[in-house]
Each structure stands twice: as C-alpha cells, then as structure tokens.
RNA sequence: GCGGGUAUAGCUCAGUUGGUUAGAGCGCCAGAUUGUGGCUCUGGAGGCCGUCGGUUCGAGACCGACUACUCGCCCCA
C-alpha cells in the first residue's frame, strides 16, 4: 500500500463483510424489539438546518460548540446546514412538522424508532468514531413514568438477546424546567466557595456546565464534589414523585438499577429522568445507551408543548460489546445451504442450471466459477460454512443421482434433484 | 483543541548492546496414489522494515521531521 492511496477519512471506517453478521444481528434484534413494543420506523434527513441542532441540542454543548460538521449551502440565502450529530431533534422536528399528534386519541403516545449514522467531529478513540451509528427510540405525547420503565425493559430484553450481560443501568433525575435552574444556582454557589481548589477542567465546567463537574475523574475534585449538593436532594415535589414512580415501575419489572445522583447528561434538553447503560468491556467510552426525558424540546425548536422520552444506543459500541463466543457463533453461522462441487466441463454447465433451480426454490447456493480439484472444492465448501456439499460429476449427470454430503456429520447419500430440494428445504 | 503509544509479510506479531541472504504463527499456493473438507506432516510464494532527512565504516534497530494509525483527556453513543 502506498502513501498515495486514498483511504478512509479519519474517524470513519469500512464495515467489512466479516463483521456484518454482528451488525445485522444487532439491527435484527432491535427491529424485533420494536415490533414487539409497537414502535414505528422513521427516517429523517442526514442533514438539517444548523439552527435545529443549535437550538435543540443546546448552544453551550460541546456537540454544537465544536463538533458539528457544518457547511454553507449553495442557495441564495447561504443557508447553514449540518450533518446530524444526533437524531432526537430531527425526530421531534418531524413529529411537529407533520402534526403527528393530531390524529392521536387523548393520552395516546407516538413511538418512533430510527437506525442511522450520525456525525461528530471529535478525536477518534476506542468506541468513538466521527461517523457512527445509532439506533434510537422516541416516545412522544405523554410523560407517564411507566413509559420510561417500559422503554428500559425493552433495552433490557435486547441486551439479553445479544448475550451482553456485563452492563449496569444508571438512573437519575435532573429536575424540570424550574427546579433545574434553581439547583444549578445552588450548586454554583456552593462550588464557588472553594473554586480555586478544583482542577482547571472543573473551573471551566463551572462556567459552562456546572453539572458536569460531577463527572470529573480527578480524585481531588471527587473529594470536593462529595460535599456539593446533589440534584436529587433539590427536586421539586412533582419531579420527586415522578422519579419515585419511575423506580417503582422498574422494581415491579425486576430490573436492577443504580441511582447515581451525580450522573448528568450532556445534552441541554433533558428533564427529569435520565439514564445510561454502561458496559464493562469498552475502554474509556463505556456508555452503550444514553437517554432520558425531554419535555421542553418541542417548544425549544418552535413547536407546541410535547412530552418526550427516548434513548439512543451506539451501534458501534453495541457490536463491540457482543461477547467473543457469541460473536464467533454469529460469524460462522451457515452462510450457504449448499455448496456445489463439480468435476469436468459438462458438470460445470449442469451446475449452473441446478444452482438456478435450487435458488428459485429459495435456497442459498454457493458455487465457484473456476474448476478446482475435488479436494480443494470440498475445502472451499468447508470454508463457506455450507451445510451441505452437492457433488456433480459425469456419473451423476448420467444417472441423475447426485451426491449430497452433510458437512457437519460427514454423511453422504445419493439422491435425485427433487429429493435433494425437499431435503434442503426441510432443513 | 491537548497528552501518551505504535508503524516489519494479506492478518497478529518477534527481531538480542547497531554487524552477512529479515523471522514465527495464522492465511494463501503446491504436495502426502485415482472423485471427498475439518486434524496432521512436507515444501513454496509473499517485505524498499510508513515517508523523508541525519548520526555511523555499517541503521529494521539510534536521532529529527512529516504522515498515518491507536489509546487517553475534553465531551459523548
């Protein structure tokens, strides 16, 4: 490989065929969960007006501040456009734009899900990419804590289905539109008294997003933070009740969780319930799922009041979290029902026709265009993880009876084409 | 935006204090009697040692710059 060769842009990557079984598995499990829980798919544009994210996600966030891929359109207005850094703002925008709430009965919720790539210009590291994939759900139209517990129950099922067991559910309440600012003021007042003892990062956080001081990894800061008031102690009555109900719903479902009063989420739109699911095998970027309630987002982007709760999980990180033995199982799952081994030119021509017939019947058929020695062809059948090898030579063509070898047991029998077809279809 | 690490075969990596023709495992190719895979054995192909410059009689090893990748910080999925 020369240095002249054009390669992928930093922070982006190709997902190669060897890994696709894992990606498809996660997507299939997610879609099955969404089917069971009544979520409908929505696809929004990959770029939107910059203003949507600036207002929706929050001007003060790092995402908006320094991580967006923003460019000027070529129209006369020089519209500023941005590759989506997340999808909640877009989904809520679509919900409002198409007035999806109008045909709903009183209290009926709209459950939407999406699968797609997001873009953030961050420094890449383990489990973090500039183009990354998220699968998310937004439940709009109501603020019942039972919704939150049900959504988490759904995630719980998905993780179990993917054999990802090494996870922890962290929950917190970040208060509502009035209690959060009041708390922030209290927090900043408390922190201000010994601000000089904090690290430089925390001093910066104090200015931009004081809640994030709780996340500091500096042990010295952690000691100072322990004395600061937490938001759970400052919740208004309604938010406190909401949080209690949420926990009761989790308990009723037997879902384990850890209340972390210091867990905050980075996006401005979160209110009340916030949660994270962290994994144990991911390195520093260990958040697999992040989500929460965002009851004020709709108004922020110019819509009517609309309650919302949702999550997004990192598909990249979910794939990384699949345990090695499960990943190996997925990779080696039979790719083809049958691999055709042919010997000689006449058999080669016949094989093409038989392959077509088997494929028409719905079978997955592999065969190679270059003739190989039988030994080598059998080795190929093995490499393809084919369930069966179908052997076609001059004798077989003459008699109409073909060799069908079970690649797992090694047993081989001689059958006519119809019998082969029904045997393969029968499993 | 800020730190650390790495760069040798298709892949994962060895390579002594600088010293002949640069190694292993896996993979690939060819064999171990005829039309039967996995296991084993034998042989083979395949490297401008990231790029450029410097030190030296001599550099894959040492130094510098650049580039790429990677891990972490900030932040986040």
A315 and A364 in a single domain? The answer is no
pLDDT reading at A107 higher than 90: no
**Cα separations in angstroms, A145 against A234, A310, A373, A416:** 19, 12, 65, 62
Our measurement of CA A10 to C1' B68, in angstroms, reads 9
Of the residues A259, A293, A327, which one is the last residue of a structural domain? A327
What are the tens digits of pLDDT across the range A154-173?
A: 999 999 999 999 999 999 99
* Strand B near-CB residues (< 7 Å), A 63-82: 63, 67
Q: pLDDT at position A297, please?
A: 93
**Cα separations in angstroms, A296 against A56, A197, A202, A227, A292:** 10, 35, 27, 30, 12
Cβ neighbours of A132 (radius 10 Å): 20
Q: Is the CB of A375 under 7 A from strand B?
A: yes
Of the residues A327, A359, A393, which one is the last residue of a structural domain? A327
Q: pLDDT at position A427, please?
A: 59
**Which CATH number belongs to the domain containing residue A93 in this structure?**
3.30.930.10
Q: Is the CB of A219 under 7 A from strand B?
A: no
A209 and A259 in a single domain? The answer is no
Instruction: Give the residue-averaged pLDDT of A221-230.
Output: 80
Q: How confident is the model at residue A146 (pLDDT cuts 50, 70, 90)?
A: very high
Q: Which long-range contacts (CB under 8 A, 24 or more apart) does A371-375 make?
A: A371/A342, A371/A343, A371/A344, A374/A341, A374/A343
What are the tens digits of pLDDT across the range A337-355?
A: 999 999 999 999 999 999 9
A70 and A212 in a single domain? The answer is no
A305 and A342 in a single domain? The answer is no
Give dist(CA A397, CA A352) in Å, integer. 13
Q: What is the ipTM of this complex?
A: 0.86
Q: pLDDT at position A4, please?
A: 57
Residues in chain A: 427
A117 and A211 in a single domain? The answer is no
Asked, for residue A369, whether it belongs to a domain, the answer is yes
A41 and A117 in a single domain? The answer is yes
pLDDT reading at A95 higher than 90: yes
Q: How confident is the model at residue A423 (pLDDT cuts 50, 70, 90)?
A: very high
A305 and A416 in a single domain? The answer is no
Instruction: Give the end-to-end CA distance of chain A in Å, rounded to a whole number.
Output: 45
Asked, for residue A317, whether it belongs to a domain, the answer is yes
Q: Is the CB of A293 under 7 A from strand B?
A: no
A65 and A202 in a single domain? The answer is no
pLDDT reading at A264 higher than 90: no
Q: How confident is the model at residue A185 (pLDDT cuts 50, 70, 90)?
A: confident
In contact, A151 and A249? CB cutoff 8 Å = no
pLDDT reading at A121 higher than 50: yes
A95 and A140 in a single domain? The answer is yes
Q: Is the CB of A7 under 7 A from strand B?
A: yes
Q: How confident is the model at residue A266 (pLDDT cuts 50, 70, 90)?
A: low
A221 and A271 in a single domain? The answer is no
Q: pLDDT at position A378, please?
A: 95
**Which CATH number belongs to the domain containing residue A402 in this structure?**
3.40.50.800
A355 and A379 in a single domain? The answer is yes
Asked, for residue A323, whether it belongs to a domain, the answer is yes
Asked, for residue A46, whether it belongs to a domain, the answer is yes
User: A403 lies in which domain range?
Assistant: 335-426
Structure tokens at A249: 């719903």
In contact, A317 and A162? CB cutoff 8 Å = no
Q: How confident is the model at residue A1 (pLDDT cuts 50, 70, 90)?
A: very low
Asked, for residue A350, whether it belongs to a domain, the answer is yes
Q: Is the CB of A317 under 7 A from strand B?
A: yes
Tell me the average pLDDT of chain A. Answer: 91
Q: What are phi and psi of A200, to 5 degrees?
A: -60, -40
b/e per residue A271-299 (b: at least 16 CB within 10 A) = bbbbbbbbbeebeebbbbbbbbbbbbbbe
Asked, for residue A264, whether it belongs to a domain, the answer is yes
Q: Is the CB of A269 under 7 A from strand B?
A: no
Of the residues A327, A349, A373, which one is the last residue of a structural domain? A327
A227 and A373 in a single domain? The answer is no
Instruction: Give the residue-averaged pLDDT of A198-225.
Output: 79
Number of domains composing chain A: 3
Asked, for residue A398, whether it belongs to a domain, the answer is yes
What are the tens digits of pLDDT across the range A355-393?
A: 999 999 999 999 999 889 999 999 999 998 999 999 999
Q: How confident is the model at residue A196 (pLDDT cuts 50, 70, 90)?
A: confident
């Amino acid at each position: 490989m020369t240095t002249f060769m054009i390669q992928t842009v930093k922070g982006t990557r190709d997902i190669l065929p060897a890994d696709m079984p894992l990606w498809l598995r996660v997507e299939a499990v997610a879609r099955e969960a969404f089917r069971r829980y009544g979520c409908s798919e929505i696809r929004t544009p990959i770029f939107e007006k910059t203003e949507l994210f600036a207002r929706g996600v929050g001007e003060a966030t790092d995402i908006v501040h320094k991580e967006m891929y923003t460019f000027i359109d070529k129209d006369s207005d020089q519209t500023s456009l941005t590759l989506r850094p997340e999808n909640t703002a877009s989904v809520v925008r679509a919900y409002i734009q198409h007035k999806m709430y109008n045909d709903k009965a009183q209290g009926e919720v709209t459950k939407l899900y999406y699968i797609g790539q997001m873009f953030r210009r961050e420094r890449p590291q383990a489990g973090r990419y500039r183009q990354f994939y998220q699968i998310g759900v937004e439940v709009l139209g109501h603020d019942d804590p039972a919704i939150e517990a049900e959504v988490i129950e759904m995630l719980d099922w998905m993780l179990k289905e993917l054999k990802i067991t090494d996870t922890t559910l962290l929950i917190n309440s970040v208060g509502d539109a009035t209690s959060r600012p009041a708390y922030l003021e209290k927090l900043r007042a408390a922190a201000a008294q010994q601000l000089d003892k904090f690290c430089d990062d925390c001093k910066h956080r104090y200015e931009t997003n004081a809640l994030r001081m709780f996340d500091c990894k500096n042990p010295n800061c952690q000691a100072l933070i322990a004395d600061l008031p937490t938001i759970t102690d400052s919740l208004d009555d309604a938010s406190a009740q909401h949080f209690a109900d949420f926990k009761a719903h989790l308990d009723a479902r037997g879902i384990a969780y850890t209340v972390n009063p210091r867990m905050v989420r980075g996006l401005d739109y979160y209110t009340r319930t916030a949660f994270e699911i962290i994994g144990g095998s991911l390195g520093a970027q260990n958040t697999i799922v992040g989500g929460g309630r965002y009851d004020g987002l709709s108004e922020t982007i110019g819509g009517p009041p609309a309650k919302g709760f949702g999550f997004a999980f990192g598909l990249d990180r979910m794939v990384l979290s699949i345990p090695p033995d499960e990943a190996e199982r997925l990779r080696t799952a039979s790719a083809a029902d049958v691999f055709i081994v042919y010997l000689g030119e006449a058999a080669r021509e016949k094989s093409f026709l038989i392959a077509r017939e088997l494929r028409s019947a719905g079978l997955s058929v592999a065969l190679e265009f270059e003739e190989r020695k039988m030994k080598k062809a059998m080795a190929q059948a093995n490499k393809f993880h084919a369930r069966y090898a179908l052997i076609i030579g001059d004798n077989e063509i003459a008699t109409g009876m073909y060799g069908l070898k079970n690649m797992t047991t090694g047993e081989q029998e001689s059958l006519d084409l119809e019998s082969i077809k029904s045997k393969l279809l029968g499993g």
